[in-house]
A and B are shown apart, each in its own frame.
Chain A
Amino acid sequence: MSRYDTNVILYRLKKDAAFRDRFRSDPSTALAGTDLTEEERQAFMRWDVLRLNELGGMLHLLLSIPELGGH
């Protein structure tokens, strides 16, 4: 099954430009209060898209988040 929390954040990064800006400038603060495992959090902080994908992050979201996505 897909990881709900990881993908909720990925979906929000794609659709919410203000959240995306906050994440790009200060990912730690942007992710405060989210229900992520430490491994997931670190993958977001590093923007390690391969690891996020391995942890269940959906491919199409990872590819298409403006200013962060891509092959």
Chain B
Amino acid sequence: MDRIVYAAAMSHVLYPDYYGENVGPHGRKMVEELIEVVRDMGRTLAAAAPDALVVVADDHLNVFSFDAVPALCVRVGRSVSRMVQDDAIEFDRALDGLPERYPVHEDLANAILEQGLQAGFDFAASWSAPLDHAFLSPVSTLYGNRPVPPLVPFWVNCFVAPQPTAQRCFAAGRHIARVVADGPWKVAVIATGGLSHFPELSLARVAQSDPVFDRRVVTLMEAGDHAALAALTAKELPTPDRTSCSTGWCSWAR
């Protein structure tokens, strides 16, 4: 039996140019300071020497298009590629210069998938989905030039209604924790997303935030109040941007 040796949650747009262009110098400075915090987290993570790194994040409509949108999806297979986007703009440029492929921890990914069926989860499985900035911006910032351990990418649908509930995401996180506890691996888990920033996914309201809600979520997380987080309803989470943090973070359960 082994264990989760590291767990964390963080933003996934760790790209100073984006904030500089769209928020201004103070935005650039804030994210540069955040990047230093994440690099420090990465030193702790690397010292834990995990056999695998589970990354729970959303798809920004980069991978699954609209033909089929999985609620919860495990990336299986031997390796996973970085998303390629010609003439990338905005946060997609954060992928520039990163390795083209990363190893997947095939045994852990398959265990999450296969044991999920026994546990009542019909996870989707993908052998080909690439990774966008939601996965690789945090991973590359955490690890820098250090080798990245085999990954298990895990997508949570945060943007295409109906999204999985906070309760379902929390249960999925608990499932991942049980798989790790029953397995032989040391595993690190990170979940990525943001506090409120894209209310109702409205272009007209981009960058409006809800600090009251944000403080409530952070307080609940600091208190480890999983029940309250998992009980957040669709009405309380009407804006998918909240979902992108809450469901991702609710998946972080051990």
Contacts and interface: CB of A to CB of B under 8 A. Distances in A.
A39 B62 CA distance: 25
Contacts of B204: 50, 53
Interface string A27-71: 000000000000000000000011001000011111111110111
Contact of A14 (B66, B85, B91, B206): B85
Interface residues of B, number: 24
Interface string B185-220: 000000000000010011110100000000000000
A67 B202 CA distance: 20
Interface centre among B62, B65, B87, B159 (most CB of A within 10 A): B65
Interface in B35-85: 60-62, 65-67, 85
Contacts of B65: 7-8, 11
B100 to A, nearest CB: 17
A58 B90 contact: no
B164 to A, nearest CB: 15
B66 A59 contact: no
Given A2-B161, A67-B87, A69-B90, A49 B60 contact: no
B87 A58 contact: no
Contacts of A15: 85
A71 B22 contact: yes
B98 interface: no
B160 interface: yes
Contact of A69 (B89, B159, B206): B89
Tell me which of A58, A60, A62, A69 has the highest count of chain B C-beta atoms within 10 A of its own C-beta: A60
A2 B66 contact: yes
Interface in B141-186: 159-161
B85 A59 contact: no
Contacts of A1: 161
Contacts of B202: 53, 59
A69 to B, nearest CB: 6
Given A2-B160, A58-B61, A64 B203 contact: no
Given A2-B160, A58-B159, A66-B88, 17 more contacts: A2-B66, A7-B66, A8-B66, A14-B62, A17-B86, A17-B87, A50-B203, A50-B204, A53-B201, A59-B202, A59-B203, A60-B62, A63-B90, A64-B88, A66-B85, A66-B89, A70-B89
19 contacts: A2-B66, A8-B65, A8-B67, A10-B61, A49-B203, A50-B203, A53-B202, A53-B203, A60-B60, A60-B62, A61-B61, A62-B203, A63-B206, A64-B92, A66-B86, A66-B87, A70-B90, A71-B22, A71-B206
The 9 closest A-B pairs by CB, nearest first: A66-B87, A53-B203, A60-B60, A59-B201, A7-B66, A11-B65, A58-B61, A61-B61, A71-B22
